[in-house]
Amino acid sequence: MKKILLLLSVLFLSCQFLIAQETEKETKPRPVRAPFESPYLLDNQTTFILPEKTLQMAIQHKFGTMEEGISDLYGIYSSANIRIGFDYVPYENVQVGYGLTRTNMTHDFNAKWTVFEQTRDNSRPLGLALYGNMGIDGREKENLGAQNAFPQRLSYFGQLIMSRKFGYRVSVQLGASFSHFNMTDTSRFDYDRVGIHFNGRVRVAPTGNIVFNYDQPLDFLRLSGTEEYELNPNITIGYEIVTSTHAFHLYMGYTNHLLPQYAMVRETKEFELEQFNFGFTITRLWSF
Where along the sequence are the contacts to other proteins (CB under 8 A)? 3, 6-7, 10, 13-14, 17-18, 21, 64, 68, 71-72, 77-79, 81, 90-92, 94, 102-104, 111, 113, 132, 134, 139, 142-143, 145-147, 151-152, 154, 156, 158, 180, 182-186, 188, 191, 256-257, 266-269
Supply φ then ψ for residue 62, to 5 degrees: -120, 125
Cα 32 to Cα 160: distance, rounded to the nearest angstrom: 20
CB 110 within 8 A of CB 97: yes
Shortest approach of other proteins to residue 85 CB, angstroms? 17
Comparing CB distances to other proteins, the nearer of 165 and 180 is 180
Comparing CB distances to other proteins, the nearer of 68 and 248 is 68
Shortest approach of other proteins to residue 140 CB, angstroms? 8
Q: What is the DSSP string of 97-146?
A: EEEEETGGGEEEEEEEEEEE--BTTSSS--EEEEEEEEEE--S-GGGS-S
Comparing CB distances to other proteins, the nearer of 93 and 199 is 93
Comparing CB distances to other proteins, the nearer of 171 and 261 is 261
The H or E element containing residue 20 is helix 2-26
Shortest approach of other proteins to residue 126 CB, angstroms? 20
CB 213 within 8 A of CB 42: yes
Shortest approach of other proteins to residue 176 CB, angstroms? 16
Shortest approach of other proteins to residue 243 CB, angstroms? 30
Give the Å distances, CA to CA, from 137 to 58, 226, 239, 277: 20, 22, 31, 24
Comparing CB distances to other proteins, the nearer of 85 and 200 is 85
